[in-house]
Amino acid sequence: MNLDLKDLKKLIYDFNRVSERLMHTDFVDFLSNVSRFVTFIENNEVIMDFIGSAGQPTFDIDNEISEVSHGNAIFDIGYDDNSEVANIFCILKYISEHNISYRTMLFYEYGHGSKKYQEMIDGFNSRVTMVLISHIESYLTGIGYDLGVDQRNINNAFYGPINNFGIQQGNNNTMMNNVDSSMDFEAIMSVIEEIQKNQSSFDSAFGDAAERFTSQLNELTEAVKAKDSSKTEALLKSLKTIAEGAAGSLIASGVLALLTNIM
């Protein structure tokens, strides 16, 4: 299937919406949103071609489900990009087709000791679903490169509200609107304000780096107010590095997407 830029933007917009819905899901709605996500992928030739190119899962799905169902194991999501794509899509499709309830022991280990269903589902989405979403995003971004779109334009045109993990990630107020303009301090300040709304979660999101992240975010605020381009750029890069190091955190993933949009 050949895509032009307009088709690609529409595809990414639609993929963003269904991904956000799953990543934000209430545990009660988890199954319906997994099914919506899987159906969307299966009905899209471009994404299904990508998943098909990843090959076969590295496990027998029935055996994998049986092992994880005992409540003391997590899913084998793979050892490289292709196995992650194949394995995770297989897991999500199995959950959808077999109407797997959030009450099963499949998600127990993803709660990090919590017995709350919401935390189990959030953990599963963070460690499993998000990995597949990220691979699909990267693939669609690659198509954008093939169409001749530059990096900044891809960030601005494609990644609007992608995977809104507890944070409003991208909208017309939080993205640079002109790829050839000088640094957009107003847009950066909007991003800072969005990130600060989740400050109460920084300790859990960034762990030992939380204090450094908070300090640098405050420094960034002052640099933006002073319209100091060089310091602003350096702090954005540093904050992005901290967010990249906070693997598995929904808040950190949202922060990372926000920062990527304006860099």
175: pLDDT strictly greater than 50: no
Q: What percent of the chain has pLDDT over 70?
A: 85
Residue 242 pLDDT: 85
Q: Which pLDDT score, from 0 to 100, does residue 36 have?
A: 97
Q: Is the pLDDT of residue 151 over 80?
A: no
Map tokens 């990090």 to a residue: 112
Average pLDDT, stretch 63-80?
Answer: 89
Q: From residue 2, how far is each of 8, 106, 146 by CA, in Å?
A: 10, 39, 12
The residue among 113 and 217 whose pLDDT is bigger is 217
The reported pLDDT for the residue numbered 180 is 30
Q: Which of 3, 4, 36, 12 is nearest to 170 (CA)?
A: 12
> How far apart, in whole angstroms, are the C-alpha atoms of residue 124 and residue 164?
16
Determine which of 74-83, 167-176, 211-220 has the lowest per-residue pLDDT on average: 167-176
The whole-number pLDDT of residue 1 equals 61
Highest mean pLDDT among 58-67, 193-202, 240-249: 58-67
Residue 91 exposed, middle or buried by CB count within 10 Å (0-12, 13-18, 19+)? buried
255 falls in which pLDDT band (50, 70, 90)?
confident
Annotate the chain with three-state secondary structure. CCCCHHHHHHHHHHHHHHHHHHHCCCHHHHHHHHHHHHHHHHCCHHHHHHHHHCCCCCCCHHHHHHHHCCCCCCCCCCCCHHHHHHHHHHHHHHHHHCCCCCCCHHHHHHHCCCCCHHHHHHHHHHHHHHHHHHHHHHHHHHHHHHCCCCHHHHHHHHCCCCCCCCCCCCCCCCCCCCCCCCCCHHHHHHHHHHHHCCHHHHHHHHHHHHHHHHHHHHHHHHHHHCCCHHHHHHHHHHHHHHHHHCCCCHHHHHHHHHHHHCC
The 10s digit of each residue's pLDDT in 19-50 is 888 988 899 999 999 999 999 999 999 999 99
| Tokens standing for residue 48 | 């299904």
Region 225-247: what's the mean pLDDT? 83
User: Does the pLDDT value for residue 146 go beyond 90?
Assistant: no
Is residue 248 very low, low, confident or very high in pLDDT (cuts 50, 70, 90)? low
Q: What is the pLDDT of residues 48-61, one digit of tens each?
A: 999 999 999 999 99
- 178 vs 62, higher pLDDT: 62
pLDDT of residue 153: 52
Distance CA 148, CA 124 (A): 36
What is the Cα–Cα distance from 165 to 83, expressed in whole angstroms? 24
Is pLDDT at 199 greater than 70 in this prediction?
Answer: yes
Q: pLDDT-derived band of residue 150, with 50, 70 and 90 as boundaries?
A: low
